[in-house]
Structure 1
């Protein structure tokens, strides 16, 4: 709590006056590294020239001395952040990797945010998965203490035949890709409710409609029911799924329909983010 009044002289003298409008937590100029600032300014200047620019032009536009510019350019080229071609400087592979990683993180954040909104709206854990390079990849899940996610007690990749996420992804593949997956990960009983053999699973997958939720009841985890919504973008198979305790099985299909409607409203963002 703040108090009013005048501090004793021996205390006020020990504290140098602060400039108006400055925060005591703001870094002092002496803590900033000038060479890093200049290098970043130079990178930004190069980025503004997609067809490249010579050192003298970059120095002028970045407000740097020409000798400093040459030194920074040599260093940035050596580290791969810039490349030089016929006297012109361009962004290098290292910079492009940074930009690509940043875009990937942004896409992932978009998906995480969407899952959290759907989790809160539906009152159930929400999962996002893709089929990538022959494998089932549960990219992320969003749950809450009152609605916990299903624990991966048996490897999701090896038990795609048993859970809604895997069945939904497999249903989007062509026959050859499905059989290849099942050759590598044969059908086996995970619970007493798991589909019994590959032929039974294939018949079920062939009868799955592209736009319909895939429903699974206690085939992967006893006491849990799941629904997965297919998401196909180009040749990429993906799915968004929910799970509920078995005593709430009557909620499953209505909740899946609501999830499908929510996904439809954000189809553009979901499509953009499918490659994370």
Structure 2
């Protein structure tokens, strides 16, 4: 049976709306109108690399890779496990994160400043002790920098592999510098401003990183137990394999991904390209 163009269009629109609401929440259209439509100065102009990267469908792969990599800092992972609600309310956490990225990247300077202030207020309240007795505070500049460089690295790597048009070296440096602007406002310690600086900062943290029961549990949940309808499970499996494939070899070994993800790794790159192409097709319908 050949589907009519109107039927395909309707399916595309429904898929786009479903994806938008999962990622941005029930008020997705209102949020998008405010972020993009409110007049006023922005932190980043339309030609800045951060807008190119964060406006691309490769962010879905980069975002999952970032969560996996961030989990390998035991102190940061303990704070996430205790306070973020990533298992109890995974879509809520995703919506809050995606809204913050959208506002700081595309929104007015005032809205971006307000978003940073809200996050800093939340971080000030989050503190505790890991299972090994190590105290933590979410506003710790060292931990904030780890979260920042892990997501910067993964977003950039995902875009360079799956984005519409990979950045040149100057564009890569520009993206890292743009991200550093936000990180400094959040209170991160010495966020790097170049691609080489990002690589060096990641190396500085290497001795602090290792898998824990919490990080492996998070990886299993994110890779093989996502709260998705059955029809979305197969595409998500390829997205998950592409995210794992972005990670450094030592990180993949440490996290010990589920067998299904390991089996799909040989298809991670073609699968990742197919998923990002499908996401772009769906997103343009909303």
* TM-score normalized with structure 2 length: 0.29
More helix by share: 2
Structure with higher Rg: it is 1
Higher relative contact order (CA 8 A, sep 6+): 2
More strand by share: 1
* TM-score normalized with structure 1 length: 0.30
